[in-house]
Amino acid sequence: MDWNKVGAIGSVGSFAVALLLFFAQVWPYPQWKAEQSQQDVVATSQTQMQQVAPAPSRTPTSRGFPKSIVFFLIASLLLASLSIWGAWRRPKSKLVIHRAVYAAGLPTEELVTDKLQSIARDGIAITVDSTLGGLLPRDPAFGVCKRLDVTYSYGSDKTFDVSRYEAPPGQISRLLLPEDSEIQRLTNQTNQFRQKLGTANQHLPIEILAPLNYGEVGFRRVVSGSVRPALSRVQLWVFAGDNLWYRQGSVKVDGCAWSVECQFGNTPSMDKPSGDFQIIAIADANIRDERLSILPDVGIKSEIIKVRRTHN
Identify any residues that bridge with 227 across adjacent strands, giving them in sequence order.
Answer: 206
Distance in angstroms (rounded) separating the CA atoms of residues 262 and 211: 11
Task: Note whether 271 and 284 are within 8 A (CB).
Answer: no
Lowest-confidence pick of 39-43, 180-184, 298-302: 180-184
Round the CA-based radius of gyration of the chain to a whole number and report it.
Answer: 39
Checking if the pLDDT of 268 tops 90, the result is no
Checking if the pLDDT of 22 tops 50, the result is yes
192-199: long-range contacts at Cβ-Cβ below 8 A with a sequence spacing of 24 or more? 195/301, 195/303, 199/303
Backbone angles phi, psi at 239, to 5 degrees: -95, 120
- Band the pLDDT of 245: cuts 50, 70, 90: very high
| Whole-number percent of the chain with pLDDT over 90 | 32
Return the closest-CA partner of residue 284 out of 224, 223, 235: 235
Amino acid 273: pLDDT: 72
Residue 296: is the preceding peptide bond cis (ω within 30°)?
A: no
Task: Note whether 229 and 239 are within 8 A (CB).
Answer: no
The arithmetic mean of pLDDT across residues 247-268, rounded, is: 90
Distance in angstroms (rounded) separating the CA atoms of residues 163 and 150: 6
> Would you identify the CATH topology of the domain 202-309?
Immunoglobulin-like (2.60.40)
Q: How far is CA 42 from CA 28, 49, 51, in A?
A: 22, 11, 12
Checking if the pLDDT of 119 tops 60, the result is yes
- Band the pLDDT of 201: cuts 50, 70, 90: very low
